[in-house]
A and B are shown apart, each in its own frame.
Chain A
């Protein structure tokens, strides 16, 4: 059973557009992470959020953790072709060490 649902599953946009990716669950997470994966490689960490309502910015990327720590969003401003990749959220519930990954959002930014 997948605990983390991401939407949309696929997204193809033009360079310069904005987009938001969502990560939702019925479980409460003690921490939530976002990763980006390039073809043929393992995922690489973008950000970690641990506090409900927390907002973190990484250049053109804005990450938000829901107040109840059950959901998160990733917003990209003025997308560029270099943002193309698979975006994955991952969460750990309190008292466990294991991280469960979301279903992924495959983003393609067209020049």
Chain B
């Protein structure tokens, strides 16, 4: 019953450092995505993937990279962290093939860039 698992839960970075947020799902979902959540901004889509080997940009992709080498994993990389990337990050997955399938979210990763 793992669902969507994100790590780490909390991270503090210095400006310019790089890091990877890990995301894994065990539901065999084709679609995975990363969102960031800032106060008053709801959830904004960073990158998404509709299957292994396929990724695409969302609303706010700058400063982030993703890859999808397997169905299960969808890591998010911050190449050179900036204070503007301080946020809560959510990984999500859902099955494709039908309208309105449930999006399952991880528990979130709190990132602070100082």
The interface of chain A, by Cβ under 8 A from chain B, is 1-2, 4, 6, 9, 30-31, 33, 35, 40-45, 48-50, 88, 90, 92, 97-104
A residues near B100, Cβ cutoff 8 Å: 31, 33, 48-50
Residue of A nearest to B48 (CB): A98
The answer to whether B43 and A98 have CB atoms under 8 Å apart is no
Which of B35, B48, B56, B106 sits near A101, CB closer than 8 Å? B35
Beyond A97-B50, A98-B48, A101-B35, is A45–B102 a contact (Cβ under 8 Å)? yes
Q: How large is the interface on B (under 10, 10 to 19, 20 to 34, 35 or more residues)?
A: 20 to 34
B40 lies within 8 A of chain A by Cβ: yes
The answer to whether A92 and B59 have CB atoms under 8 Å apart is no
Binary per-residue interface labels of chain B (88-113) against chain A in the complex, 1 for a CB within 8 Å, 0 otherwise: 00101000100110110111100000
Binary per-residue interface labels of chain B (11-23) against chain A in the complex, 1 for a CB within 8 Å, 0 otherwise: 0000000000000
A residues near B90, Cβ cutoff 8 Å: 42-43
The answer to whether B31 and A30 have CB atoms under 8 Å apart is no
B44 lies within 8 A of chain A by Cβ: yes
The answer to whether B99 and A50 have CB atoms under 8 Å apart is yes
Report which residue of B31, B99, B105 has the largest number of chain A beta carbons within 10 angstroms of its beta carbon: B99
B residues near A103, Cβ cutoff 8 Å: 40-42
B52 lies within 8 A of chain A by Cβ: no
Which of A2, A42, A50, A104 sits near B107, CB closer than 8 Å? A42
Beyond A42-B105, A42-B106, A42-B107, is A101–B43 a contact (Cβ under 8 Å)? yes
The answer to whether B103 and A6 have CB atoms under 8 Å apart is no
The answer to whether A42 and B108 have CB atoms under 8 Å apart is yes
Expressed in whole angstroms, the Cα–Cα distance for A88 and B44 within the complex equals: 12
B residues near A98, Cβ cutoff 8 Å: 33, 45, 48, 56, 58
The answer to whether A9 and B40 have CB atoms under 8 Å apart is yes
B residues near A104, Cβ cutoff 8 Å: 40-43
B residues near A30, Cβ cutoff 8 Å: 99
The answer to whether A100 and B45 have CB atoms under 8 Å apart is yes
A residues near B40, Cβ cutoff 8 Å: 9, 103-104
Expressed in whole angstroms, the Cα–Cα distance for A44 and B42 within the complex equals: 14
